[in-house]
Amino acid sequence: MPARLRSQRPDARPDLIVRNLKTNQTHLLDLKVPYDEIALFDQHRALNTRKYSDLTLDLCRVKRQKVTLGTITVGCLGSWDPENDSDLKKVGLYGKDIDEPSRILLRSAVRQSYHLYLEHVSAKPKIPENT
C-alpha cells in the first residue's frame, strides 16, 4: 500500500482488492470463517467495517476513487451468508457467476474444519493433502 495512507494498522490488509478501471472503483473484500451462527456473521461484518474504515477513507482521499467494503462470510460448517451475494455483485459477479466461487469456499471451510476437528480429537497435527 502507498506510504501516503494514514491508516497504519498492520492488520488492515483485506484478503482481496478488486479494482475496476472503467468505473474508477476499488472493492475491498475480506474473508471470514466464524462458527455457523447468523449473529456471528453480523458481528464479523461489523468488525470488518470498523477495521477497514480508515483504510477505506484513505483510499478515497488518495486515489480519488469510490471504495466499497465487503465481507465474505462462510460458516465453518458450511453456511453461506446471504449478504455475500450483494458484496459479490458489487465486484461484478451475478447469478451463476457466484455459484462456483461459493461452492469452492464452502468446501474449503468444511474441509479445514474437519481437519481441525481431527487434530483436536487425536491431539496430533494432520497435514491435509490437496488443501
Query: Tens digits of per-residue pLDDT, 11-31?
Result: 778 888 888 888 888 999 998
Q: Is 109 within the bounds of a domain?
A: yes
Q: How far apart are CA 25 and CA 56, in angstroms?
A: 12
Domain of 21, in residue numbers: 16-122
* Whether the predicted model's global pTM rises above the 0.75 cut: no
Q: Which three cell numbers stand for residue 99?
A: 455459484
Q: Is 86 within the bounds of a domain?
A: yes
Q: Are strands 25-32 and 66-73 parallel, antiparallel or unpaired?
A: parallel
Q: Is 128 within the bounds of a domain?
A: no
> Domain count of the chain?
1
Secondary structure (3-state) at 1: coil
Q: Is 24 within the bounds of a domain?
A: yes
pLDDT at residue 2 is higher than 70: no
Query: Tens digits of per-residue pLDDT, 93-125?
Result: 777 777 787 788 888 888 888 887 788 787 766
